[in-house]
Amino acid sequence: MDNLGETQLCFPQLHNLSCKRLIRPHSETIFFYILLSSISVLTVVLNLLVIISISHFKQLHTPTNLLLLSLAVSDLLVGLLVMPIEAVRLVESCWILGELMCALSCIINFILTSASVGNMVLISIDRYVAICYPLQYPGTITCSRVQLCVCLCWACCFLYNGLILKDHLRQPDRYNSCLGECLVVIDYVSGTVDLVVTFFGPCSVIVVLYLRVYFVAVSQARALRTHITVIPVGSVSVTAKRSEKKAARTLGIVILVFLMSFCPYYYPSLAGQDIITSASSWTIVTWVLYFNSSLNPIIYAFFYPWFRKTVRLIVTWKLRHQNSSQANIL
């Protein structure tokens, strides 16, 4: 603790060109590395279980689960690529990974954040059609169309963030005042555009669609309680299935948790400030957003019996058995 508050140069041999940093006590450094590494490993393992479950078991090859698969991929990449680099940034104070990693870490971070937002919008649309238009759902929302939408979502995220960060990719050290910094500044104009494209627009769509889902689900529940007859067409009821409503409720929780962790991420833009990624407050906000990638599989475990069942099959190596992909898990 004696070293707390003392400073040293990031690269002592460079003297005037080197940034100064606070020296953390050795015990504090070890604690943060263990904590952040544990969160990273937990995020990767939990989302890998989701990916294996949906990919392996045929019964889970549904449009909704394909969207969950895409979300799990983005969450896994956050734990695998973003969290370790951001842990080094947080603990070491000095940037020691070089200019290339400075550029790559920033664009990967932004792409995965945008992909998560895009997946949430697609999930909201899926639940909206399933609850509000149950008869049209099987013909409208198909696996092939969902796969196409997911691919377009990821492609747009790469293209959009490449445009936003083109100057940073071209010259990663343009805002650095000394060696040992990895500083990314999003100016007010770009931040405002980003605010509309990846915050206000998607969040408005999500909120409006889920409010509509909520009111329709409530009206259907009231109709059932008062024994109002629902018009059948063949063997299909106009009222959304109970399983669809349960899925809507579970995914609504996922979206609510995401929005709660996502809103502080855009506070600088909302306040009319430039986004400076080296600020300590920015570090806390981004880690709250990263931790959301760990929470999604935990929510599935609480609300999806099929996920708990597939996890048991995975950890007990039952996937090695012939025809295990055909197992009845619903």
Mean pLDDT confidence for 198-225: 81
Q: Which long-range contacts (CB under 8 A, 24 or more apart) does 131-139 make?
A: 131/213, 131/216, 131/217, 131/240, 131/244, 131/245, 131/248, 132/212, 132/213, 132/216, 132/240, 134/236, 134/237, 134/238, 134/239, 134/240, 134/241, 134/244, 135/233, 135/236, 135/238, 137/244
- CA quadruple 165, 105, 156, 193: dihedral positive or negative? negative
Query: What pLDDT score was predicted for residue 274?
Result: 46
Stronger pLDDT, 42 or 216, i.e. the higher one: 42
Confidence of residue 227 (pLDDT cuts 50, 70, 90): low
Mean pLDDT confidence for 241-261: 74
Q: To the nearest whole percent, how much of the chain has pLDDT over 70?
A: 84
pLDDT at residue 292 above 90? no
* Residue-range domains of the chain with CATH: 7-326 (1.20.1070.10)
Stronger pLDDT, 100 or 34, i.e. the higher one: 34
Confidence of residue 119 (pLDDT cuts 50, 70, 90): very high
Query: What pLDDT score was predicted for residue 207?
Result: 86
Mean pLDDT confidence for 101-111: 88
Mean pLDDT confidence for 44-59: 93
pLDDT at residue 26 above 60? yes
pTM of the model: 0.84
Query: Which two tokens mark 139?
Result: 């013909």
Strands (DSSP E) contained in the chain are 7-9, 20-22, 185-186, 232-233, 236-237, 275-276
Mean pLDDT of the residues in the chain: 81
Range among 18-22, 117-121, 228-232, 314-318 with highest mean pLDDT value: 117-121
pLDDT at residue 235 above 50? no
Query: What pLDDT score was predicted for residue 2?
Result: 43
